[in-house]
C-alpha cells in the first residue's frame, strides 16, 4: 500500500494512532505504464491503481506558504507527465548498511588472477569516450567544449556501455580503442535515473573483444577489486587502480529529484574520466560501472552494480529507453534538512511537488505536499527506490 504522511503547518491534521495521519492506498499494479523516456509521439499510459480506502479529505488553508513557494520552484510552471523524471543535471563529484547475513558455505571459486593478468584481459574491452558539445559563454555565444569518459564493450556488434552523464548533450561522440583506432558512435539509449547509456560504433573492419560480465550479488565487503578507466583522458592506455569493496547497497543523490541506489562503494581510486569504466573482480569479470566520487573525499568512489546494469542495458539495446511504471507526479526527495525546515513528520520519502491531471495519482487523490513513504510492504525512501 501507499502510506501518506500529512503533517504540514498549513494542513489540519486529523489525529490517528500516531501523530500524523496515515492514509493507506494500494501499490501500482504489476502492469507497468509507459516509460518516462519513451520516444516522442508515444503517449505514456498510467498504471492501473486500486484503492483499499478512499483518501481522507483534509482541509488546507489557501494562503501561500514558504513550502508552497519551494515546491512551485521545483515543479515549475508547465510540468508534464515526463516531469516525474526531470531532465538530468551534469554529474558533479557525486557523492543503509545491508542487513547482517547468515553464515553461509561458499562454493569453490575459480582461480584468482594476478592484477597484471586482469588488466591484460580487460584492456581491449575498455575504451575511451570523447565527446564534443556546445555550451554558452557569458555573452550567450555558443562555445565548443570537450568531455572524456570511459566505456565497456558489450558485444561484437559494436554496443558499448557507459554513463549517461558522459554522453548527455553530446553532438559528437568518438570512441578510441586500445589499439589507437577511433570510430564515431551514436547513442542507442540512455537512462538518467541509473546514469547508464548504450552507444554503438560501426564494426566494419573492427575486431572487438567484449568484456565478461560477472555477478554483483555475490560480492562481499572486503573483496579485492580493480578500477580500469581513462582517467583525465590521458593518452597511452587506461589507468588502473586497486582497492576493495568498502560497502554494498549505498545510495547517493545526484540532484534533488534523482537518486541512485544499491551502489558499490570502493576505495579504488576513481578519477574524472573514469566515469563509465569497469570495476572488476580478480577473475577479470566486470562487477560494476564506475560512476561517482565524493567531492573532497579520498578513497570514496561508487559503481553501479552489474546486476542492475544488465537489466537496464538490455532494455536500452532493445528499445532505447527503460520502461517504468508511470504514477503521475513530480517527485522531490525528502532530506533531513528539508524535513527540519518545514517540520515534516518524516526525514525520508518522496515529497509530491506536482500531481499531473488525468493520471493514476490524480485519480487516487494524491495531493501536492503529500509524502510517499511506502509501496506495498516496501519502504520508499527516495526516487531511486520508487523507480526500481
Position 255 in a domain:
yes
Strands in the chain per DSSP E = 2-6, 21-25, 126-136, 142-153, 159-162, 172-176, 182-191, 196-201, 224-229, 239-255, 258-266, 278-280, 286-293, 301-305, 329-333, 350-355, 371-375, 378-379
76 or 160: which leads in pLDDT:
160
**Does 169 reside within a domain?**
no
The single residue of 35, 241, 275, 387 carrying the catalytic annotation is 275
Q: Under a CB-based contact definition with an 8 Å cutoff, are residues 290 and 260 in contact?
A: no
pLDDT bin (cut points 50, 70, 90) of residue 287 is very high
Contact 73, 64 (CB under 8 A): no
Q: Which of 159, 165, 191, 282 is catalytic?
A: 165
Q: Is residue 363's pLDDT more than 50?
A: yes
Is residue 153 in a domain? no
- Told to judge if 283 belongs to the known catalytic residues of this protein, a careful annotator would answer no
Q: How confident is the model at residue 299 (pLDDT cuts 50, 70, 90)?
A: confident
**The domain that contains 43 carries what CATH number?**
2.30.42.10
Whether 361 maps to a domain, the answer reads: yes
Q: Is residue 36 part of a domain?
A: yes
Return the residue matching grid coordinates 557507459.
162
Task: Assess if residue 341 is contained within a domain.
Answer: yes
Name which residue leads in pLDDT, 296 or 250.
Answer: 250
Domain count, the chain: 2
Active-site residue, from 168, 191, 195, 267: 195
Mean pLDDT of the chain: 75
Per the annotation, the verdict on 165 as an active-site residue is yes
| Residue 284 covered by a domain | yes
Beta bridge partners of 279: 227, 288
Q: Identify whether the C-beta of residue 185 lies closer than 8 Å to the C-beta of residue 162.
A: no
Query: Domain range holding 227?
Result: 216-307
Maximum C-alpha span of the chain:
71
Kindly indicate the confidence band of residue 69, based on its pLDDT and cuts at 50, 70 and 90: low
Q: What is the pLDDT of residues 129-158, one digit of tens each?
A: 999 988 777 788 888 888 999 999 999 999
Three-class SS state of 120: helix
Please give the average per-residue pLDDT across 278-301, as a whole number.
88
Domain end position, chosen among 249, 275, 307: 307
For residue 270, the surrounding DSSP H or E stretch is none
Rounded to an integer, the average pLDDT of 280-284 is 95
How remote is the C-alpha of 22 from its chain's centroid?
29
pLDDT band at 348 (very low <50, low <70, confident <90, very high): confident
- Cell matching residue 274: 573514469
Q: Residue 45 falls within a domain, yes or no?
A: yes
Residues 234 and 303 in one domain: yes
Across the range 160-187, mean pLDDT stands at 94
Does residue 242 share a domain with residue 302? yes
Give the residue from 307, 335, 365 where a domain finishes.
307
For residue 247, what is the domain's CATH number?
A: 2.40.10.10
Residue 174 has pLDDT above 60, yes or no: yes
- What is the value of pTM for the model shown? 0.64
Among the residue ranges 11-25, 73-87, 106-120, the one predicted with the least confidence is: 11-25
Least confident of 47-56, 60-69, 336-345: 47-56
> Model confidence at 71, in pLDDT bands (50, 70, 90)?
low
Of 18-22, 80-84, 185-189, 228-232, the poorest mean pLDDT is in 18-22
Which pLDDT belongs to residue 251? Answer: 84
Amino acid at each position: 500500500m501507499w502510506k501518506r504522511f500529512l503533517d504540514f503547518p498549513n494542513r489540519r491534521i486529523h489525529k490517528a494512532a500516531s501523530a500524523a495521519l496515515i492514509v493507506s492506498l494500494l501499490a501500482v499494479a504489476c502492469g507497468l505504464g509507459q516509460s518516462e523516456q519513451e520516444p516522442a509521439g508515444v503517449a505514456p499510459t498510467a498504471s492501473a491503481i486500486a484503492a483499499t480506502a478512499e483518501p481522507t479529505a483534509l482541509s488546507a488553508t489557501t494562503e501561500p506558504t514558504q513550502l508552497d513557494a519551494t515546491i512551485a520552484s521545483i515543479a515549475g510552471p508547465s510540468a508534464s507527465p515526463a516531469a516525474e523524471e526531470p531532465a538530468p543535471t551534469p554529474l558533479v563529484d557525486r557523492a543503509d548498511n545491508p542487513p547482517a547475513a547468515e553464515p553461509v558455505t561458499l562454493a569453490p571459486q575459480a582461480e584468482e588472477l594476478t592484477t597484471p593478468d586482469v588488466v591484460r584481459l580487460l584492456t581491449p574491452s575498455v575504451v575511451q569516450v570523447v565527446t564534443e558539445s556546445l555550451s554558452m559563454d557569458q555573452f550567450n555565444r555558443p562555445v565548443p567544449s570537450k568531455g572524456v569518459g570511459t566505456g565497456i564493450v558489450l558485444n561484437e556488434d559494436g554496443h558499448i556501455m557507459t554513463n549517461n552523464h558522459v554522453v548527455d548533450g553530446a553532438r559528437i561522440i568518438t570512441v578510441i580503442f586500445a589499439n589507437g583506432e577511433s570510430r564515431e558512435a551514436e547513442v542507442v539509449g540512455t537512462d538518467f535515473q541509473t546514469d547508464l547509456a548504450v552507444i554503438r560504433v560501426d564494426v566494419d573492419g573492427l575486431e572487438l573483444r567484449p568484456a565478461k560480465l560477472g555477478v554483483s550479488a555475490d560480492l562481499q565487503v572486503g573483496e579485492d577489486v580493480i578500477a580500469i578507466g581513462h582517467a583525465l583522458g590521458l593518452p597511452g592506455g587506461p589507468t588502473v587502480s586497486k582497492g576493495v569493496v568498502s560497502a554494498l547497497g549505498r545510495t547517493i543523490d545526484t540532484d534533488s529529484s534523482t537518486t541512485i541506489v544499491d551502489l558499490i562503494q570502493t576505495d579504488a581510486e576513481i578519477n574524472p574520466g573514469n566515469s563509465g569504466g569497469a570495476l572488476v573482480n580478480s577473475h577479470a569479470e566486470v562487477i560494476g560501472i564506475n560512476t561517482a566520487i565524493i567531492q573532497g573525499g579520498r578513497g570514496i568512489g561508487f559503481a553501479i552494480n552489474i546486476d542492475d546494469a544488465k537489466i537496464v542495458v538490455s532494455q536500452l539495446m532493445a528499445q532505447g529507453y527503460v520502461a517504468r511504471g508511470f504514477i503521475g507526479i513530480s517527485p522531490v526527495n525528502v532530506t533531513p534538512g528539508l524535513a527540519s525546515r518545514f517540520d515534516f513528520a518524516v526525514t525520508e520519502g518522496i515529497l509530491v511537488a506536482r500531481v499531473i491531471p488525468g493520471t493514476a495519482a490524480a485519480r487516487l487523490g494524491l495531493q501536492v505536499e503529500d509524502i510517499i513513504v511506502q509501496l506495498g510492504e516496501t519502504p520508499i525512501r527516495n526516487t531511486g527506490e520508487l523507480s526500481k
